[in-house]
Amino acid sequence: MMQMSPGRTRSSAALERMVLPALAEGGYTWKVQVILGKRLGMGAHKVDAVAEEDGRRILISIKWQQASGTAEQQVPFEIICLVEAMETGDYDKAYVVLGGEGGKWRTFYTSGGLKRYIRAAEYVEIITLEDFVARANQGTL
C-alpha cells in the first residue's frame, strides 16, 4: 500500500507522478494548487494545476476514486465551479481528471452524461487520468 505524507492525497500523488511529467513532455508550463478566487462566492476555489502553452491557460482538477463514495458526488459541483472560474478568469479550457478504478459513475461522467443536466458542462471536459496523460504528453490539451 502506498504511504503518503500528512496532507498528501492520492490526487496530489497522481499529479506529481503522472500529470506533471506528462505536461513537461508536452511542452506545458504549470503552477500547482492555484487559488482561482472564491468558490461560488464562498470559500477559496483551488485547482490542482493551471497549465499554460502558447498563451492558453488550462485548469486541471483531479478527482481520485478508489471505491464508490464522495469523489463522484463532487464532480458536478466541481464542474459548476470551473465554469464560473472560466467565465470570471482568463482560462481557455478546463478538465476534471478522474483517477482510480472505483466509482460507478466514471463512464457516465466521461461520456458526457452531465451535459444533459448541467448545460455549461460542455465547457469542462471530464476525462480519465490515462487519457489526460496521453493528451498532455502529445501536447494536445
| Distance in angstroms between the alpha carbons of the first and the last residue of the chain | 32
Question: What is the extent of the structural domain holding 125?
Answer: 25-138
In eight-state DSSP terms, residue 42 is S
Instruction: Provide the CATH number for the domain around residue 125.
Output: 3.40.580.10
Residue 92 dihedral angles phi and psi, to the nearest 5°: -100, -25
- Tell which wins on pLDDT, 126 or 17: 126
Residue 1 is assigned to a structural domain of this protein: no
Cell of 76: 458536478
7-40 pLDDT tens trace = 456 666 777 788 999 999 999 999 999 999 888 8
Write down the pLDDT at residue 23: 96
48-104 pLDDT tens trace = 999 999 999 999 999 887 655 566 778 888 999 999 999 888 899 999 998 877 667
Residue 12 is assigned to a structural domain of this protein: no
Residue 2 has pLDDT above 50, yes or no: no
Residue 133 is assigned to a structural domain of this protein: yes
Residue 108 has pLDDT above 90, yes or no: no
Sign (positive/negative) of CA torsion 21, 22, 25, 31?
negative
Residue 114 is assigned to a structural domain of this protein: yes
Write down the pLDDT at residue 118: 85
CA dist 7 → 10, 17, 80, 108 (Å): 10, 16, 25, 30
Residue 8 dihedral angles phi and psi, to the nearest 5°: -95, 135
Residue 99 is assigned to a structural domain of this protein: yes
Q: How many domains would you assign to the chain?
A: 1
